[in-house]
Amino acid sequence: MTVGSVVEKDSRAAFGHLRLDGVTRRFGKATALSGFDLRIEGGEFIALLGPSGCGKSTALNCLAGLLPLSEGAIWLDEERIDTLPPEKRGFGMVFQNYALFPHLSVRKNVAFGLSVRRVGKAETARRVDEALRTVELTEHADKLPGQLSGGQQQRVAIARAIVLRPKLVLMDEPLSNLDAKLRVQMRTEIRRIHQDLGLTTVYVTHDQEEALALADRVVVLRSGKVEQIGTPEEVYTYPVSTYIAGFMGYRNLLELPVLSSGDGKVGLGEKDGLNLTGVSRQPITGARAVAAVRPEDFHIAGSPDSAAGENIVTVRVEVSEFHGREVAAEGVTDDGRVVHFRSPERIAPGERVALTVAPERVLVFGESVQDAAAALDEAAAESIGETTGAKDGG
Amino acid sequence: MAVEAPARPEAPAPRRSGLRHRLAERGVDRVLLLLVPAVLVIGLLFLYPMLYGVGLSLQPKNGGGPFGNYADFFKDSYQRGTVWKTLRLALPAALINVGASVPIAYRLRGRFRGRRVLTALLVLPVTLGTVLVADGLLRYLGPKGWFNRVLLDLHIVDEPVRLIYNYWGVLLSLLITGFPFAFLLVLSYMSGIDPTLERAAATLGAGPWQRMRRVVLPLLAPGLATTFVLAFVLAFSVFPSANLVGEPAGETRVMAIAAYQAAFEKYDYSMASTIAVLMGVFELLVISVTLLLRGRLYTGPASGGKGS
Amino acid sequence: MTAISRPRGLPKRALPKGRLSAWLVWACVGFFLINLGALIFSVIVNSFGTKWFSGWLPQGFTSSWYSDAWDEFALGDVLTVTLEITLIVVALALVIGVPAGYALARRDFPGKRIVMFLLLLPVLLPPITYGIPLATVLYKVHLAGTMTGVVAANLVPALPFVVLVMTPFVEQIDANVESAARMCGARTGQVFMRVLVPLLLPGILAAGILVLVRTVAMFELTFLVADADSQTLIVSLYSAAFTPGIRAAQAIDAMAVIYMALSAVLLVIALMFVNPTQIVAQVREAPAE
C-alpha cells in the first residue's frame, strides 16, 4: 500500500490517538524502560521490536496497566489513563503463553469479559459467536483449552481479546510458541483481523520478520531506550545503527579504517586488504567505521583473478548450505574476516571466489567494532533458526 | 513539608505515590495484607506461647538463677537420660523408615497394574494414628497374641518373645506410623527423576546397580535428606506409644513424657517449659546438621535437559 | 573399560541379580503388610470376642462391646465434638491459609524468609514442644478445656500446613491468567472468585482433607488442652487404653475399631479427591529451605 512515514488513520478506530509521554519503569535499581515517547494513531499497527530484556514487554505491560509506571504518563485523546487499573482501561491483551482460563470452555473463555461486565445473555452469545467465527473456531466452542492445539489456543486468546471491541489490542509475542509454518499463517490472520475490525494494535516481538510484515510502524528498542521508529521500509532500508542493521539482516559487520568521507559517500579500506565504498546518512568523523552488508547483497563476480572493479571481496569458501533457491555460504578473506554471502549455485568448500556489492548497499556506521559485534550477537541470539533473514524487502 | 532532604530535581511527582511505587517495586503492596491474618494467628498462638515458655523456663520454681532449671535437668541423670532415650528411638526409626522406602519406591516407580492399590495399602497406616497402632501392637504382639502364637507353633521360639512394654514396642509403633509418610515422600521424589536418565546411563553401559548408585541415588539424596528430617520430626515427638507400648518409667521415658509429667503431674510449668525448649533445641540441632549436609549435595532439577 | 567395577571372570548376570533383589523387596513389603493386616484384624476380632484367654480365636462372638463402649465412653458426644472441632479447624485454616499462601507465592518482599521460617517452625517442632507452653498460656486465659482452646491449639500446625501446601499450588498457576482476567475487565474480587478459586480448588480440597485427617489424628495438642467435654475421639481412646485395668480390653478395642472406621472413611474420601503422590510432590519443595 502506501509507502512512506505518514500513516493513514482508520476512521473506525475507537480513539484519535494514544500518547506515551516519557514512560519509565524501574525494578529496584535496574531501569527496564526509560523515557519512552510514542504517539499511536487510532487504527495503527505498531510493532515493538528488540531482543529479550530490551524493555518491550515492560512497555506493553505499562500500557496495559499491569505494571505501574515509575515516571511518565499515558494519554488517550488527552485524557490521562496511566492511573487507571487494567480492568478500567478497556484494552484487550493476547499473552505469549495465551493465558487461557484452563477450567473454562472455549466459549466461556471468550465470554469471560462480557460476563464480568454483566452483558445480557443474548448479546453475549451473539458476540461470542461472531468472535469465534472470526477466528474460525466455531466447531471447537465447547472444548477446554487443554484439548486444543497451540494454534487453536492462540486463536481463542485472540477471540477473547477482540470480543470486547477493545480500544487497543496489546499482543505480547503471540506467535513465539508456534512452529514456523503456523507462525506465518497466524501472522497473516492477525493482520487480517486488525484490518477487518479496524483495531489499533501494539505488537511486541523479537522477530524482525514478524515486525516488518505486520506493522505500519516499527519501534526498535534497545536496553530500555528507543533506537529507531519508522515504517518497515525505513527501518529495513536505512537502519540508524549497527545494532538495528544487525537485527535487519545485515549479517556482515566489517570494521575498517576510514579512507575518505563526504557527500554521503564513505571509502573504507586497508592497504593490500579489503576495500569497500559505502553510503552513510550521518557524517563519519572517527578514524574507523563499520560497514554493514546483507549476505544477499553480495554477488559472485567470478574467479579472483578475472574480477575487477569496485567493492571486490575475495574469499575462500568454508561452509555452504543449500537453501532451495540459493546457497548460503560462509567464506574467509585473506586477512581472516568471516563473510556471509549467497550464491545462486552450489559452491564447494575450499573454492576461492570474488564477491562484489553495490556501494549503495554498503551502509557505513561510525561506531566501534565492539558495539557492532555486541549488536550482531544480540540479534543472532534472538533469531536463531531464521538464517535466511528478511529477504527482498527493501 | 519542605524541611527535610536536599531538593531532588527529578521528584515533582506526589511523594506518597512515589513511596508506594518504590515499595511496590520491592514487592510490598496490598496483596501482602492477605498474609496478615496468618501471621497474627501464628504469632499469637505459636510465637507468643513459645517466648512465654522460654521466659517461664528461666524462672525456676526452686530458685537457682535463670538457668537453674537447665542445670537441674542436666544434673539429674533420670532427666538427662531422656535425651538419649528419645534419640535412641527417633534416629533409628527415621533411618529405617527412609532406608526401607528407597528400594520399595524404586520398585514402584514404573507403571504397572496394582501400583495404585499397593501404594494405597502402604500408605494406609498414616490414618491409623499412634494411639490405635499402640493398641493394636498390645493385642498382636502380646504374649498371647497371634504373632507369638505363630512363632510358638512353628517352634521358632520356646516362650513368647517380649516385644511390648519395652523399647521394641515403641520402635515398632514408630516404624508402622512413620513408614507410610516417609515412603510417600520418597516415592514422589523418585517419580520426579526423569526416567530417561536411567536409560541414558544404561546405553552408556551401567548395570542396574550402577544406575541406582550413580544416577538415581545422587539425584534422590537431597530428597532423602528432607524426608529424613520430616521422619525424624515425626519420631522425635513420640509420646502416646511410649506410654502405651513402652516402659514409660524406664527404657522409653522420652523427653515428651518428662515434659508432660513436669507439667501435669508435678505442676512445675517452669520445668516443663525447660524440657519443651530443650526438646526443640535438640531436634533443631539434628535437623540443622542434616540440612547442612544436604546443602553440600546437588539439588538442581532431576531431568535431563529442556522440557519434560 | 567395562571391567572397572566388575570382578574379573564373572559373567554378566544382571538380570537374575535384579530379580533376586526385587523378590527380596517384595518379600519385605509382604511381611510388613501381612503383619499390619494381622495387627488391625486382631483388634477387630477382639472387639467382637466374648472372652479370649488363649487359642487362635475368642471363645465366642458378640457385638455388645460396641454398645457398652458407646454408652460408657459417651462416644456419641465425643464423635460430635470431634467432628465439630475438626471442621472448624479445617474451615479456619483454609480461610486464613489460602490467601496467605497466595501472597507468599506471588510476592517477593523483604522479610519473606522470616515469615516462611515462622510458618515452617510449627510443622517442624514436636507438638509437645509448643503444646506445653501453649497449654500453659491457655490455662492462664481460661481457654483450656474449652472448644475454643482445642480449636486454637489445633490451628497452630494446621494453618502453616495449609499455607505450605497452597504456596506451590498457586505458584504453578500462571500469573498471566490473572492478568488476562484483569484485561478482560474483572475486578480483584472477580479475579479471585471466578479464576483463582476454581483453579485452586484441587489444592484447596487436598489441603482441607489433609488437615481434616491430621486433626482427627492429632493426639498431643488436643490431649494437652482438652478436658472431658472437649476431647476428641483419639484422646478418649488414649485415656481408655492408658487405664487398662478399669475398662474391658474389648470395649477399648471396640472404640479403636470405631476410630479406625472413621479414619478409613476419611481416607477413602481423601483418595477420591487426591492422588497421594501428587500431594507430596506439591509440598516437597516447601520444607527444603
Q: Give pLDDT tens digits for B202-230.
A: 888 888 888 888 888 888 898 899 899 98
What's the mean pLDDT when you consider all of chain A? 86
Q: Taking 90 as the threshold, does the pLDDT of residue C81 lie above it?
A: yes
pLDDT digits (tens, 9 = 90+) for A44-78: 999 999 988 889 999 999 999 998 888 899 999 98
Q: Taking 60 as the threshold, does the pLDDT of residue A7 lie above it?
A: no
Distance from CA of C178 to the nearest CA of A (A): 8
Q: Which residue of C178, C179, C183 is the best one to mutate when testing the A interface, meaning the one whose CB has the most A CBs within 10 A?
A: C183
Q: Where are the domains of chain C?
A: 14-62, 65-288
* Rounded Cα gap, residues B145 and B10, in angstroms: 85
Q: Taking 50 as the threshold, does the pLDDT of residue C11 lie above it?
A: no
Q: Taking 90 as the threshold, does the pLDDT of residue C228 lie above it?
A: no
Distance from CA of C14 to the nearest CA of B (A): 7
What's the mean pLDDT when you consider all of chain B? 84
Which residues of chain C are within 8 Å of residue A64 when distances are taken between CB atoms?
179, 183
Higher pLDDT pick, A3 / C68: C68
The complex's ipTM? 0.80
- Residue A9: per-residue pLDDT: 54
> Structurally, what CATH architecture does the domain formed by A17-237 represent?
3-Layer(aba) Sandwich (3.40)
Residue of C nearest to A102 (CA): C199
Average pLDDT over residues C147-155: 94
Contact C181 A160 (CB under 8 A): no
Q: Taking 80 as the threshold, does the pLDDT of residue B303 lie above it?
A: no
Whole-angstrom CA distances from A138 to A106, A124, A155, A169, C184 are 9, 15, 11, 22, 21
Smallest Cβ distance to C184: which of A102, A103, A112? A112
Which residues of chain C are within 8 Å of residue B273 when distances are taken between CB atoms?
132-133, 136
Who contacts C179 (Cβ-Cβ below 8 Å, separation ≥6)? A64, A66, A86, A93, A95, A99
Phi, psi of C154 (to 5 degrees): -70, -20
**Residue A27 forms contact with B (CB below 8 Å):** yes
Contact A71 B13 (CB under 8 A): yes
pTM metric for this prediction: 0.78
Q: Taking 90 as the threshold, does the pLDDT of residue A157 lie above it?
A: yes
Which residues of chain B are within 8 Å of residue A68 when distances are taken between CB atoms?
21, 24
Residue of B nearest to C26 (CA): B104
**Could you say which of 3.90.700.10, 2.60.40.10, 1.10.3720.10, 1.10.287.3510 is the CATH number of the domain covering C65-288?**
1.10.3720.10
Q: How many helices (H) and strands (E) does chain A have?
A: 10, 20
Q: Taking 50 as the threshold, does the pLDDT of residue B129 lie above it?
A: yes
Phi, psi of A391 (to 5 degrees): -110, 150
pLDDT digits (tens, 9 = 90+) for B12-63: 444 445 666 666 666 677 888 899 999 999 999 999 999 999 999 998 887 7
Which residues of chain C are within 8 Å of residue A100 when distances are taken between CB atoms?
177, 180
Residue given cell 487453536 in the structure block: A152
Helices marked H in B43-166 — which ranges? 48-57, 68-75, 77-108, 115-123, 129-141, 146-153
Secondary element (H or E) of residue B178: helix B167-191
- The fold of the B53-295 domain, in CATH, is MetI-like fold (1.10.3720)
- Bridge pairing between strands A363-365 and A288-293: antiparallel
Distance from CA of C152 to the nearest CA of B (A): 7
Beta carbons of A281 and A241 less than 8 angstroms apart: no
Beta carbons of A15 and A81 less than 8 angstroms apart: no
Higher pLDDT pick, C180 / C63: C180
Candidate ranges A5-14, A184-193, A304-313, C210-219; pick with highest mean pLDDT: A184-193
Q: Where are the domains of chain A?
A: 17-237, 245-382
Distance from CA of A26 to the nearest CA of B (A): 8
Beta carbons of C126 and B236 less than 8 angstroms apart: yes
What's the mean pLDDT when you consider all of chain C? 83
Smallest Cβ distance to A102: which of C179, C194, C199? C199
Instruction: Give B139-175 as a DSSP string.
Output: HHHSTTSHHHHHHHHTTS-SS----SSSHHHHHHHHH
- Residue A375: per-residue pLDDT: 59
A17 bridge partner residues: A41
The CATH number assigned to the domain with range A245-382 reads: 2.40.50.140
Which residues of chain A are within 8 Å of residue C196 when distances are taken between CB atoms?
none
* Rounded Cα gap, residues A246 and A239, in angstroms: 9
Residue of A nearest to B22 (CA): A28
Which residues of chain A are within 8 Å of residue B10 when distances are taken between CB atoms?
71
Average pLDDT over residues A122-142: 93
Q: Which chains touch C (3 or more CB pairs under 8 A)?
A: A, B
Q: Which of A155-169, A259-273, C147-161, C272-286 has the lowest mean pLDDT?
A: C272-286
- Residue A283: per-residue pLDDT: 82
One fold for A17-237 and A245-382: no
Contact C176 A164 (CB under 8 A): no
* Rounded Cα gap, residues A332 and A315, in angstroms: 5
* Rounded Cα gap, residues A58 and A69, in angstroms: 10
Q: Which of C230, C226, C233, C223 is nearest to C257 (CA)?
A: C233
Which residues of chain A are within 8 Å of residue C174 when distances are taken between CB atoms?
97, 99
Which residues of chain A are within 8 Å of residue C179 when distances are taken between CB atoms?
64, 66, 86, 93, 95, 99
Q: Among residues 174-193 of chain C, which lie with CB inside 8 Å of chain A?
A: 174, 176-177, 179-187, 190
Q: Which of the four pLDDT bands, split at 50, 70 and 90, describes residue C285?
A: very low
Residue of B nearest to C272 (CA): B120
Q: Taking 60 as the threshold, does the pLDDT of residue A251 lie above it?
A: yes
Average pLDDT over residues B76-98: 93
Which residues of chain C are within 8 Å of residue B43 when distances are taken between CB atoms?
118
Whole-angstrom CA distances from A62 to A26, A390, B293 are 11, 30, 45
Contact A93 C179 (CB under 8 A): yes
Distance from CA of B10 to the nearest CA of A (A): 10
pLDDT digits (tens, 9 = 90+) for B133-142: 888 898 899 8
Distance from CA of A115 to the nearest CA of C (A): 9
Kindly state the cell numbers that stand for A331: 567464506
Around Cβ A270, how many Cβ atoms within 10 Å?
11
Q: Which residue of C51, C96, C128, C138 is the best one to mutate when testing the B interface, meaning the one whose CB has the most B CBs within 10 A?
A: C128
- Residue C270: per-residue pLDDT: 73
Q: Which of the four pLDDT bands, split at 50, 70 and 90, describes residue A24?
A: very high
Residue given cell 491483551 in the structure block: A93
- Residue A83: per-residue pLDDT: 86
- Residue A5: per-residue pLDDT: 41
Smallest Cβ distance to B176: which of C28, C36, C119? C36
Spell out the long-range contacts of C53-57 with Cβ–Cβ below 8 A and sequence spacing 24 or more: C53/B144, C54/B144, C56/B146, C56/B149
